């Protein structure tokens, strides 16, 4: 286990009471424990593993951190660990370099709040070392401190006392659990803190890149006792000038007499795969050639030797204010659990050590403080003497938050700003990068001040801002002079200066958007520091001017956004402003739990926090009639008419008004009543039996066809006369369509002429069907001489089957001539529609949709989207519950629905003509749009450059503030992107399958639109959860919707429990007015789907989806109870059933099939039986492989020919077993290491842990999905 400490047994430690409990014995935890012990506090330090840690960061301590160790009496931690003095840095840009050294004490003006150096001749020095050795010395010093107890144990959870205050920790030592009690608990468990999400406020780490680390020989360094920062001069590599993956800054520093650390920053949220060698090739081919001296050669040799690079995320986490009223009493977050920054500046340990000093001053008993004799610049609040009085500690913690910023904010801002300058492939940032390098070449204060900020020697936030903008101005000056590149000095010609002026403005603006969002996130109300009055006047003016520019632009953007919305809102009597404010007030806690609702095997019952109840349910038809009365002439339904002159659809929409739609619906309803009176709807006698006699109400009217206004009018007609509608998907085959028509006993069918032959050929199976209404898309009106209209031919054929056929207009005219009074249902439990499920697991089931369900959905969605009079395009299938509910919402809000042309390839054309303001979408549509944007970004030329700059600028803005608009780039670039969807989109909803967070973020920024995910089923009217307005946290489906209840049910077979930490997990259940009463004619399936509530307040809908609930009240879908997975197309695959088919092959010992809703096909990992696989591989490779030769078997498993041959075997087996195209595996990996309980991939009952396997084998899955899906047509099987 390596070096360890002699520590106390947990059982013994639990017998004592402590003043302070510290979780985590890293740099922060160990130093704080040692200091508090000296300050008279009884401390217990808990660490899960006290063996020597091994990390690739935290190996360079700045002079400010060295000084902090000295003040705490911990400077001996730097002795006897082979630490290397650090005198400064050498910065490389291409073939040039500049050396910047830490200053000496006399070189710093006294006003800088300097700290005393720890080095020879008054020189400031840092130290570099092996991280593990340093931490072990700190732990040993903590162990030797008075009043400190160290235990090796795992903190399971916190103990809460009165007022929910934290009073201790439950900890285990691998066996029993014990309770440690203390007045204050400090969380210092590092960057991956499990407690941060629960108690750390709204801030979560932002990952911008990864560090890739290796150890090189000690002699590769170019400047002795200096850190090396190697910058990429541009974004191209090689003589051909081809673009390669962006290379971030590379850090190199010696960490001992035996090794030099290299850290390669790899921008982006994901790393190149190590499994297939992408990361290794990146290091050897792209990074190594750019490194100076021996460094590049040493890196390439190390990678080629087979040493696996180690990686770590680079995160930014703004500090959260401790001691606020809403913070957890008795709990303090510290170190990386509370505040992180990019490791580029090596300032993290310095901030942590100074925080240990500040907290010692606050939490100590006053007998000793490390701050005695410190200058006023580092003063902190008075110590809180009584730790049991949290009210006395809170003010000191809040003061500490602001007073620590003099140091921490300088280091945090510098880290994030320098990384943007040094690690981003933006042309404007490249100019700033070169300007920064030239600025350092000037020497004097241009070097002394920045290196003092970086070293934690002279923290001064406003001076940092001054130098940052001084770099920007200097870069612009060099740009005008043509002196940015030393090897290419040439003053630009006169005609180039207008373009240079524009570029200069963009560069200065870029400098603003790089640093100011970070400043605002860090300092907020603390922008003005002590040094403000001491700065030169011109420096203050320069900083304030640039800040004012960005603030003005931001304000302009907000004003313009408000101006766009204000006219509509001013007319709205419901005041959407108040609705949005209510959502915003509950953004951090979006669900509440009902008291005393916890039951064994279930979570508490959750409700929406902003709107727990719906005050009033109004039926959609009643709301529609209200809109008709208020705005009868407003647009309601529209379509593109046929243009006879051009022989195509017209480039405009024609509209039916609300009054016209109401009259048309009344006419259709009257026509049906008239046909009933005339006996036209009496059932026929067929060989399949006779249907019952219909009454005036409750009979079924079906629609089968593409999206048309007539379908919506038909639904309104049914609602007006208490009849039931059923929708059929436009792409249903004959078998399923006729099954639904028969099962529902549809009396009237509205359909297109293309589907009528299918119906008439199966008329004998449909005894209830008596009337067909034919409605076709707009098309040519002229007929050839002697040609009969389609409807005439259809009518003659239908007459033979005793079925009556009417054209749509003919049906309307019949109704107008025979008007009957409407008769809408009075009971909210009236079944208004039958919505058939997809039938993946058998025949489709008829979910009964009631007026109550529809009223609940529409009333709730009007709160989630309070905008009235929206315009939308109908293009999703009309039979889908999402489209049906969305159209009802639009109508009830007084909006307009335009229907697309019916040709999905012309959807962009329809959008650009209609210019909708609201749009439902599915992930495959959003993925296509995002793909087009990404393709444009990857291109060449000015447009691509502008788009990349615009996206990068908006991403920075979004990450810092959550804002999706930008005053400059939205008008210059994204106006054209928005035009792809018509240019007016304000509201978008996506459902049916999860949408990847990166796609959602890109489209939010590119379309300047709040795109939100929603979740639901047919069985709850698609009304279940919905992201709240302007929620910046993606990857979830929001909280439970207003007016309904949610809870999770344990799934022990899958390993999900309501008691799981940090988040409860289980099957998602819903209850409320949105839940359906059951499946028509199928009581058995109804009983399987509805669970009676133990409290007698109604049934719970069992969704079959497994979810988890995070600390914000978001619901995240993580699994399926029955492992029925949905692919990107929206189709379901019964994964275990298909696995069993492939697992029946003699070679397969274990088979794991994987798919998810982000991918269009399945991939597989197979563990083969040794003997049959050895024989199979021998035949393929034409050489003998013994079943006992593990090396040979492993080599065969990686052989492309063997993999392809076995993949073909499985595909052939699937075809013989009748698997569908989507059920076939399209890529395969052969794995010789079996799934087992030992490696965490199997349960004790020998079932694959699907979610764990997906995590552990993530790299393998990514590799499989990079392979082009295998062409199934290459595998032929005999029909016999």
Q: What pLDDT digit, counting tens, does each position of 516-535 carry?
A: 777 776 755 333 333 333 33
Answer whether 157's CB lies under 8 Å from 172's CB.
Answer: no
Arithmetic mean of pLDDT, 237-264: 74
Closest CA to 531 of 182, 110, 1063: 110
pLDDT exceeds cutoff 90 at 923: no
How far apart are the C-alpha atoms of 1012 and 995, rounded to whole Å?
10
For 1252, the token pair is 């764990």
pLDDT digits (tens, 9 = 90+) for 1078-1097: 999 999 999 999 999 988 88
How far apart are the C-alpha atoms of 1003 and 923, rounded to whole Å?
11
How far apart are the C-alpha atoms of 695 and 672, rounded to whole Å?
11
Domain match, 242 and 367 both? no
pLDDT digits (tens, 9 = 90+) for 393-414: 888 887 787 777 778 888 888 8
Of 472-476, 699-703, 759-763, 968-972, where does mean pLDDT reach its minimum? 968-972
pLDDT exceeds cutoff 90 at 819: yes
Arithmetic mean of pLDDT, 314-325: 75
For residue 2, what pLDDT is reported?
43
For residue 542, what pLDDT is reported?
44
For 621, the token pair is 């038809």
pTM to 2 decimal places: 0.52
pLDDT digits (tens, 9 = 90+) for 1255-1272: 899 999 999 999 999 999
Arithmetic mean of pLDDT, 447-471: 84
Output the CA torsion 424→428→434→436 (10° steps). -80
Domain match, 370 and 457 both? no
Peptide bond into 1062 cis (omega under 30): yes
pLDDT exceeds cutoff 80 at 895: yes
How far apart are the C-alpha atoms of 115 and 999, rounded to whole Å?
48
Answer whether 186's CB lies under 8 Å from 29's CB.
Answer: yes
Domain match, 281 and 147 both? no
DSSP 26: S
How far apart are the C-alpha atoms of 1200 and 44, rounded to whole Å?
56
pLDDT digits (tens, 9 = 90+) for 144-197: 999 999 999 999 889 988 778 899 999 998 778 899 999 999 999 888 787 776
Would 605 be classed as within a structural domain?
no
> 500 pLDDT band (50/70/90 cuts)?
confident
**Does 750 or 210 have the greater pLDDT score?**
750
Arithmetic mean of pLDDT, 897-920: 92
pLDDT exceeds cutoff 70 at 553: no
For residue 687, what pLDDT is reported?
62
For residue 931, what pLDDT is reported?
67
Share of the chain above pLDDT 70, in %: 86
pLDDT exceeds cutoff 60 at 781: no
Q: Computed over its alpha carbons, how large is the radius of gyration of the chain?
A: 35
User: Domain holding 1257: CATH number?
Assistant: 3.30.300.30
Closest CA to 25 of 61, 42, 6, 49: 49
Q: Is 679 helix (H, G, I), strand (E, B) or coil?
A: coil
How far apart are the C-alpha atoms of 103 and 613, rounded to whole Å?
65
> 536 pLDDT band (50/70/90 cuts)?
very low
Would 301 be classed as within a structural domain?
yes
Of 471-475, 1112-1116, 1127-1131, where does mean pLDDT reach its minimum? 1127-1131
Answer whether 200's CB lies under 8 Å from 333's CB.
Answer: yes
Arithmetic mean of pLDDT, 191-211: 73
Domain match, 152 and 28 both? yes
pLDDT digits (tens, 9 = 90+) for 409-436: 888 888 877 887 777 667 788 888 888 8
For residue 653, what pLDDT is reported?
96
Q: Is 187 helix (H, G, I), strand (E, B) or coil?
A: strand
Question: Domain count of the chain?
Answer: 5
- Tell how strand 724-728 and strand 1025-1026 pair up: unpaired
Nearby residues of 1113 by Cβ (< 8 Å), 6 or more positions away: 589, 590, 591, 592, 606, 609, 1039
For residue 235, what pLDDT is reported?
47
Mark which of 535, 555, 575 sits at the end of a domain.
Answer: 555
pLDDT exceeds cutoff 50 at 501: yes
For 496, the token pair is 């180039």
Domain match, 354 and 491 both? no
Of 573-587, 943-957, 1096-1110, where does mean pLDDT reach its minimum? 573-587
Domain match, 325 and 340 both? yes
pLDDT exceeds cutoff 90 at 548: no
CB atoms within 10 A of CB 393: 24
Mark which of 293, 315, 337 sits at the end of a domain.
Answer: 315
Share of the chain above pLDDT 90, in %: 43
> 326 pLDDT band (50/70/90 cuts)?
low
φ/ψ of residue 889, rounded to 5:
-60, -45
For residue 966, what pLDDT is reported?
82
Domain match, 360 and 444 both? no
Domain match, 388 and 464 both? no
How far apart are the C-alpha atoms of 807 and 528, rounded to whole Å?
76
**Does 740 or 1248 have the greater pLDDT score?**
740
For residue 487, what pLDDT is reported?
65
Arithmetic mean of pLDDT, 117-146: 84
φ/ψ of residue 177, rounded to 5:
-105, 135
How far apart are the C-alpha atoms of 156 and 455, rounded to whole Å?
37
How far apart are the C-alpha atoms of 436 and 475, rounded to whole Å?
7
Would 1209 be classed as within a structural domain?
yes
User: Domain holding 186: CATH number?
Assistant: 3.50.50.60
For 442, the token pair is 């000037």
Of 63-67, 255-259, 961-965, 1098-1102, where does mean pLDDT reach its minimum? 961-965
> 839 pLDDT band (50/70/90 cuts)?
low
Domain match, 251 and 281 both? yes
DSSP 8: B
For 1122, the token pair is 């029955």
Would 845 be classed as within a structural domain?
no
Angle at 262 between CA 261 and CA 265, to 5 degrees: 140
Answer whether 130's CB lies under 8 Å from 89's CB.
Answer: no
Would 1279 be classed as within a structural domain?
no
Q: Is 472 helix (H, G, I), strand (E, B) or coil?
A: helix
Q: What share of the chain is helix, strand, coil (3-state, %, to 5)?
A: 40, 20, 40
Domain match, 39 and 163 both? yes
User: What mean pLDDT, rounded, does the chain reach?
Assistant: 83
User: Domain holding 707: CATH number?
Assistant: 3.40.50.12780
Arithmetic mean of pLDDT, 998-1023: 91
> 924 pLDDT band (50/70/90 cuts)?
low
Angle at 13 between CA 11 and CA 14, to 5 degrees: 65
pLDDT exceeds cutoff 50 at 60: yes
Would 99 be classed as within a structural domain?
no
Arithmetic mean of pLDDT, 215-225: 90
Would 58 be classed as within a structural domain?
yes
For residue 231, what pLDDT is reported?
86
pLDDT digits (tens, 9 = 90+) for 1148-1207: 888 899 998 888 899 999 999 888 899 899 999 999 999 889 999 999 999 999 999 999
Closest CA to 618 of 574, 656, 580, 553: 574
Answer whether 775's CB lies under 8 Å from 752's CB.
Answer: yes
> 443 pLDDT band (50/70/90 cuts)?
confident
Arithmetic mean of pLDDT, 906-919: 93
How far apart are the C-alpha atoms of 90 and 533, rounded to whole Å?
33
Q: Which domain holds residue 348?
A: 10-85+125-203+317-403
φ/ψ of residue 734, rounded to 5:
-65, -40
Domain match, 221 and 193 both? no
Domain match, 707 and 792 both? yes
For residue 339, what pLDDT is reported?
81
Arithmetic mean of pLDDT, 1054-1064: 89
Arithmetic mean of pLDDT, 747-773: 92
For residue 565, what pLDDT is reported?
33
For residue 714, what pLDDT is reported?
96
How far apart are the C-alpha atoms of 501 and 917, rounded to whole Å?
37
Number of H-type helices and E-type strands within the chain = 38, 48
Would 181 be classed as within a structural domain?
yes
For 286, the token pair is 């792209």
For residue 523, what pLDDT is reported?
57
> 1118 pLDDT band (50/70/90 cuts)?
confident
Nearby residues of 880 by Cβ (< 8 Å), 6 or more positions away: 729, 992
Q: How far are the Cα atoms of 348, 435, 475, 640 from residue 488, in angstroms, in the given order?
A: 38, 15, 15, 59
Arithmetic mean of pLDDT, 914-925: 87
Arithmetic mean of pLDDT, 646-672: 95
pLDDT exceeds cutoff 70 at 690: no
pLDDT digits (tens, 9 = 90+) for 361-405: 888 877 777 765 444 434 444 444 678 888 888 888 877 877 777
How far apart are the C-alpha atoms of 135 and 142, rounded to whole Å?
10
Mark which of 273, 296, 315 sits at the end of a domain.
Answer: 315
């Amino acid at each position: 286990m390596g070096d360890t400490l002699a520590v106390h047994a947990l059982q013994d430690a639990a017998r004592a009471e402590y003043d302070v409990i510290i979780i985590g014995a890293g740099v922060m935890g160990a130093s704080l424990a040692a200091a508090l012990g000296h300050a008279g506090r009884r401390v217990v330090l808990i660490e899960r593993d006290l063996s020597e840690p091994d990390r690739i960061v935290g190996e360079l301590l700045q002079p400010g951190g060295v000084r902090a160790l000295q003040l705490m009496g911990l400077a001996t931690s730097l002795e006897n660990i082979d630490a290397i003095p650090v005198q400064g840095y050498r910065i490389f840009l291409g073939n040039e370099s500049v050396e910047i050294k830490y200053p000496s004490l006399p070189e710093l003006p006294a006003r800088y709040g300097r700290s005393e150096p720890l080095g020879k001749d008054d020189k400031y020095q840092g130290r570099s070392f092996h991280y593990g050795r340093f931490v072990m010395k700190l732990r040993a010093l903590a162990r030797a401190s008075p009043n400190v107890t160290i235990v090796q144990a795992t903190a399971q959870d916190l103990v809460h006392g009165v007022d929910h205050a934290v009073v201790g920790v439950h900890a285990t030592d691998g066996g029993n659990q014990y309770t440690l009690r203390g007045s204050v608990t400090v969380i210092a468990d590092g960057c991956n803190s499990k407690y941060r999400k629960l108690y750390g406020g709204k801030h979560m780490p932002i990952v911008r890149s990864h560090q890739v680390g290796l150890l090189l020989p000690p002699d590769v360094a170019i400047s002795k006792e200096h850190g090396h920062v190697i910058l990429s001069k541009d974004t191209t590599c090689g003589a051909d000038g081809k673009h390669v993956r962006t290379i971030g800054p590379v850090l190199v520093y010696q960490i001992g007499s035996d090794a030099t650390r290299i850290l390669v920053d790899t921008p982006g949220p994901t790393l190149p795969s190590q499994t297939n060698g992408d990361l290794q090739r990146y290091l050897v081919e792209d990074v190594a050639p750019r490194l100076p001296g021996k460094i590049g050669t040493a890196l390439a040799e190390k990678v080629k030797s087979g040493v696996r690079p180690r990686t770590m995320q680079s995160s930014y986490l703004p500090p959260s204010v401790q001691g606020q009223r809403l913070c957890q009493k008795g709990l303090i977050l510290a170190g990386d659990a509370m505040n992180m920054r990019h490791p580029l500046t090596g300032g993290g340990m310095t901030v942590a050590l100074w925080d240990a000093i500040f907290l010692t001053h606050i939490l100590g008993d006053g007998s000793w403080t490390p701050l005695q004799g410190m200058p006023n610049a580092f003063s902190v609040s008075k110590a809180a003497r009584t730790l049991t009085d949290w009210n006395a500690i809170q003010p000191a913690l809040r003061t500490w938050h602001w007073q620590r910023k003099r140091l921490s904010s300088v280091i945090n801002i510098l880290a994030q700003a320098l990384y943007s300058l040094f690690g981003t492939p933006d042309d404007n940032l490249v100019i700033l990068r070169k300007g920064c390098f030239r600025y350092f070449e000037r020497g004097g204060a241009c070097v002394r001040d920045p290196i003092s900020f970086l070293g934690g020697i002279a923290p001064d936030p406003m001076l940092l801002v001054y130098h940052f903008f001084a770099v920007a101005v200097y870069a612009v000056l060099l740009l005008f002079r043509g002196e940015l590149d030393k090897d290419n000095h040439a003053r630009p010609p006169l005609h180039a200066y207008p373009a240079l002026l524009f570029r200069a403005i963009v560069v200065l603006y870029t400098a603003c958007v790089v640093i100011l969002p970070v400043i605002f996130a860090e300092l907020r109300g603390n922008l003005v520091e002590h040094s403000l009055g001491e700065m030169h006047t011109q420096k203050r003016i320069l900083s304030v001017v640039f800040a004012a520019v960005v603030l003005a632009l931001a304000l302009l953007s907000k004003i313009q956004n408000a101006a766009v919305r204000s006219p509509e809102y001013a007319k709205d009597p419901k005041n959407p402003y108040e609705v949005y404010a209510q959502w915003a007030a509950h953004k951090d806690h979006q669900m509440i739990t009902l008291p005393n609702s916890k039951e064994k095997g279930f979570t508490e019952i959750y409700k929406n926090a902003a709107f727990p109840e719906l005050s009033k349910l109004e039926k959609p038809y009643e709301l529609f009639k209200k809109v008709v009365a208020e705005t009868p002439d407003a647009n309601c339904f529209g379509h593109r008419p046929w243009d006879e002159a051009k022989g195509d659809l017209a480039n405009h929409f024609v509209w039916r008004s609300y009054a016209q739609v109401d009259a048309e619906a009344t006419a259709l309803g009257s026509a049906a009543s008239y046909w009933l009176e005339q006996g036209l709807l009496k059932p026929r006698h067929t060989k399949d039996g006779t249907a019952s006699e219909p009454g005036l109400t409750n009979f079924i009217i079906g629609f089968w066809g593409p999206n048309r206004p007539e379908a919506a009018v038909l639904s309104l007609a049914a609602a007006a006369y208490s009849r039931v509608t059923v929708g059929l998907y436009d792409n249903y085959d004959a078998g399923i369509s006729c099954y639904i028509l028969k099962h529902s006993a549809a009396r009237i069918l509205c359909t297109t002429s293309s589907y009528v032959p299918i119906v008439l050929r199966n008329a004998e199976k449909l005894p209830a069907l008596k009337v067909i209404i034919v409605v076709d898309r707009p098309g040519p009106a002229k007929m050839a001489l002697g040609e009969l209209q389609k409807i005439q031919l259809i009518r003659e054929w239908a007459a033979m089957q005793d079925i009556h056929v009417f054209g749509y207009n003919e049906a309307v005219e019949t109704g107008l001539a025979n008007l009957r009074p409407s008769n809408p249902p009075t009971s909210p439990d009236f079944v208004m529609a039958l919505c058939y499920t997809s039938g993946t697991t058998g025949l489709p089931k008829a979910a009964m949709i009631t007026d109550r369900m529809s009223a609940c959905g529409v009333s709730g969605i009007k709160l989630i989207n309070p905008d009235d009079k929206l315009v939308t395009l109908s293009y999703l299938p009309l039979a889908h519950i999402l489209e049906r509910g969305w159209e009802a919402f639009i109508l009830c809000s007084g909006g307009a629905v335009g229907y697309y042309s019916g040709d999905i390839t012309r959807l962009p054309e329809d959008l650009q003509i209609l210019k909708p303001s609201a749009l439902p979408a599915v992930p495959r549509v959003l993925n296509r749009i995002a793909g087009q944007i990404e393709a444009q970004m990857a291109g060449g030329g000015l447009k691509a450059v502008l788009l990349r700059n615009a996206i990068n600028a908006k991403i920075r803005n979004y990450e810092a503030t959550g804002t999706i608009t930008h005053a400059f780039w939205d008008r210059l670039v994204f106006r054209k992107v928005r035009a792809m969807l018509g240019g007016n989109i304000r509201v978008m909803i996506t459902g049916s399958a999860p949408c990847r967070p990166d796609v959602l973020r890109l489209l939010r920024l590119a379309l300047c639109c709040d795109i939100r995910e929603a979740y639901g089923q047919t069985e709850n009217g698609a009304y279940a959860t919905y992201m709240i307005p302007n929620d910046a946290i993606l990857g979830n489906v929001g909280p439970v919707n207003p007016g309904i209840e949610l809870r999770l049910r344990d799934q022990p077979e899958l390993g999900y429990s309501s008691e799981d930490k940090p988040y409860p997990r289980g099957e998602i259940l819903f209850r409320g007015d949105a839940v359906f009463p059951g499946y028509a004619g199928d009581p058995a399936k109804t009983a399987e789907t509805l669970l009676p509530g133990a409290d007698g307040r109604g049934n719970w809908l069992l969704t079959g989806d497994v979810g988890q609930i995070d600390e914000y009240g978001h619901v995240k879908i993580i699994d399926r109870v029955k492992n029925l997975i949905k692919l990107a197309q929206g189709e379901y695959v019964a994964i275990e059933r298909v696995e069993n088919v492939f697992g029946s092959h003699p070679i397969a010992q274990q088979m794991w099939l994987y798919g998810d809703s982000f991918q269009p096909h399945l991939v597989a990992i197979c563990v083969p039986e040794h003997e049959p696989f050895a024989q199979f591989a021998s035949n393929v490779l034409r050489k003998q492989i013994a079943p006992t030769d593990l090396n040979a078997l492993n080599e065969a498993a990686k052989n492309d020919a063997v993999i392809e041959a076995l993949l073909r075997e499985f595909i052939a087996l699937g075809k013989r077993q009748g698997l569908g195209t989507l059920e076939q595996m399209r890529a395969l990996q052969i794995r010789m290491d079996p799934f087992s309980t030992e490696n965490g991939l199997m349960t004790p009952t020998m079932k694959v842990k699907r979610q764990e396997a997906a995590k552990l084998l993530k790299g393998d899955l990514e590799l499989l999905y990079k392979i082009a899906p295998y062409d199934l047509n290459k595998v032929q099987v005999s029909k016999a």
